Amino acid sequence: MSKPLILVSNDDGITSRGIRVLVNIMQKLGDVVVVAPDSPQSGMGHAITIGNTLRLVEEEIFTDVLAYKSSGTPADCVKLGKHYVLKDRAPDLVVSGINHGSNTSISVLYSGTMSAAIEGAIEGFPSIGFSLCDYSSKADFSHVEDLVYKIAKQVLDHGMPKGVALNVNFPPKRNEPIKGVKLCRQARAKWQEEFKERYDPNGQKYFWLAGNFVNYDKGEDNDEWAIANNYASIVPCQYDLTAHHAITQINEDWDWEAMR
């Protein structure tokens, strides 16, 4: 039997330590193809390139792995991987990461890492985004490698619901091993943002986004709780943003006769 075909991307760029770790792990599970940004694309969300040219260049950066770097966003990379690089071959799994930094809670909306995974889900492929809650470019991934392998293998063995991507976050390396894995919901939290007004050397005003992450969620079944308590978190995500519960309320509360 042929090995599973695994498409790998990320948002930290093709030279990041996290994607190198992820490629090495995925090579134990199947045949790997990489399409990743040629530079960091953190915070790009699900942006795609529509007003500029897209570049795609083969890169000999991994051992025994076909790899391309792209000038596009993480979502662009998955699109290019499907439509150009793989062509008639459908990947058995799309994985993104391992991201340098957390993608828990509301950060999933801004995350380039998760947008690559969600783009895979949009195309109908089982998809996972992996993130380590350590922003250092020299982050230590050794304590999560076994879990990355096991989670990916579970998805390959058992499949995924259509249109769903897994958002997997790992706590940073601590003095004790990770306690286990929690299947969670997204925490109710957000960034309390502020824009700092500054001036460049020419005296021109600019703004710098800053702020603090605030967790309003007191539950113990969410991803923020899991990470804080040294568990890995798995949150199933979907690209359908419809607030289904609100449809009934709006139907009942609005004066629809006045809308005619």
User: Residues annotated as binding site?
Assistant: 11-12, 42, 99
**b/e map of 130-157 (b: 16 or more CB within 10 Å)?**
bbbbbeeeebebebbeebbeebbeebbe
DSSP for 33-62 reads EEEEESS--TT-TT---SSS---EEE---S
**Are the C-beta atoms of residues 137 and 16 closer than 8 Å to each other?**
yes
In angstroms, the CA 235 to CA 222 distance is 8
Tell me the pairing of strands 56-58 and 5-9: unpaired
**3-class SS of residue 62:** coil
Distance CA 260, CA 253 (A): 16
Annotated binding site for a divalent metal cation: 11-12, 42, 99
Q: Which two tokens stand for residue 3?
A: 């090995």
In the block, which residue shows the tokens 């969620």?
217
Alpha-helical regions (H) of 30-171:
74-80, 112-122, 145-158
**9, 20 Cβ separation under 8 angstroms:** no
Tell me if 106 sits within 8 A of 190, measured CB to CB: yes
